[in-house]
Amino acid sequence: YLALVAPSKSTTTQTPTNSAPAFTPSYPLPAAIQIWAFATSTDTDHAGHIDQSRPPELVLTVCTDWGAVKHLKWCPVPRHLRDDEVRGKVSIGLLAGIWGDGQLRILDVQIDKVHSSLTSYGMPPPNYNVYNLTNASLKVKYQGAAFAARPPNTVCTCLTWLSAVDIAVGCANGFVAIWNIFDGNQSSSPLNDDDDILPTAQSLVPVPWFFLQIHQTYVLAMAAAYPAHPHLLATSSMDGYMRLTDLRAPSTDFVLTNRSRIGATVIDYCEALQAMVSTEENDFVRIYPLRRFFSSISVGRADALITSLTVGKVHPTILVGSADGAVIATNPMRKVLNGKAQQYQQTWFEHEWTRKGEGVSRILDGFKVETVNMARTLVGDKRIKDGSVYATIYEEETGVTQVVWNPNLHCGGWAAAGLGSGLVRVEDLAL
């Protein structure tokens, strides 16, 4: 299953007057999350491959009015069989997200165990609002979530799962909050002191068991060293630093990297290397080993601003999406084991978009493996023209918005890439 954020038809960003949109919750705006199902075919080695004879199927659309969807992440732990599955419902997992109103919400996504081959909308739980569409199908509008929370006087910016029950979020004021989603501890303190921004702020909210300022300002990205070291949390901020914090002693047991001029917007954890993977100056891909987080090793390089990054959960291959529409794959094992080894990388595909007509996309693939120079030198740099270094500004629709590996063991070679033009490419790269 693949969760996608459908584009909103609303073009206005309704935020309170004289406020910064990144630091202020937005008014309730409609948003939709689509759940797509992909059929699998199993070969003799018990590996799952995409069944090319069956097209992807839209099995569920989740509609909300909490603002635009900023971030989504599935719980990494599978669910056990429950009574509702016996009654014909299947819970495909807990989906955590951050919406435009600044709140963290966790949805228990359920679909019909047997669904038709036509694109349709699934049945919601009893406490959700349901209304019929013109084609007699059902549309799910969530009026509430299985879990919802927001720290006081700030908004959530990023999230990561620490375990099946613990989830961490970064905040716009530099704080990190961690909740236990099954803990019944609640407080009547308001979410925000300004009633003009959030009129329904006075309500019971879950209390985090961890709430500490670990950065000076906006937290951009975070990742936990799950499952080997779930107590280690890596975060990056607009202050230019990446920080690895031991949640068992956060005030004393932490380490910072060298300050970067541009804050890293992506972080992921590589279990095979016991290291965090992130970017530096937004074009180099670097790994930060947990045992010496203060230093890093360059393992890849893009030709444009890196917008998304993911590491395989069953293999160490790194996928990097950039603003020029290219998705690059590289295996860092060679460089990590031998620092003098030549590093190789390969472009999965390149996406181009033009304004011609209503917009035209072109996707190029079939690129060969190439070596990459990790030295900080301008010799051979593609961005040099007439002796000057140029930074290209690409169309928003050209860039890669998100890349992700399939975390399941039998489908670990599947990769999905979302593009600014609205296209999504899903392919089994293990073939």
Q: How far is CA 314 from the centre of its chain?
A: 18
- Strand 57-64 to 138-141 pairing: parallel
* Residue 112 clears pLDDT 60, i.e. is over it: yes
Place of tokens 């600014």: 420
Cβ-based neighbours of 96, under 8 Å, separated by 6 or more: 72, 73, 74, 75, 104, 105, 106, 107, 159, 161, 167
| Band (203; pLDDT cuts 50, 70, 90) | low
Q: Quote the pLDDT of residue 86.
A: 55
Cα separation, 97 vs 109, in Å, equals: 12
Query: How do residues 330-344 score in pLDDT, each as one tens digit?
Result: 999 989 888 888 999
Mean pLDDT within 226-249: 95
Cα separation, 128 vs 201, in Å, equals: 22
DSSP annotation of 341: S
* Residue 179 clears pLDDT 70, i.e. is over it: yes
Query: How do residues 13-52 score in pLDDT, each as one tens digit?
Result: 554 554 788 888 888 888 999 999 998 887 666 678 888 8
Query: How do residues 135-145 score in pLDDT, each as one tens digit?
Result: 333 467 777 88
Cβ-based neighbours of 348, under 8 Å, separated by 6 or more: 319, 327, 328, 329, 365, 367, 415, 417, 427, 429
The answer to whether residues 91 and 74 touch, using CB atoms and an 8 Å cutoff, is no
Q: Quote the pLDDT of residue 414.
A: 94
The answer to whether residues 139 and 130 touch, using CB atoms and an 8 Å cutoff, is yes
Angle at 102 between CA 98 and CA 105, to 5 degrees: 40
Place of tokens 């996406």: 351
Cα separation, 161 vs 170, in Å, equals: 12
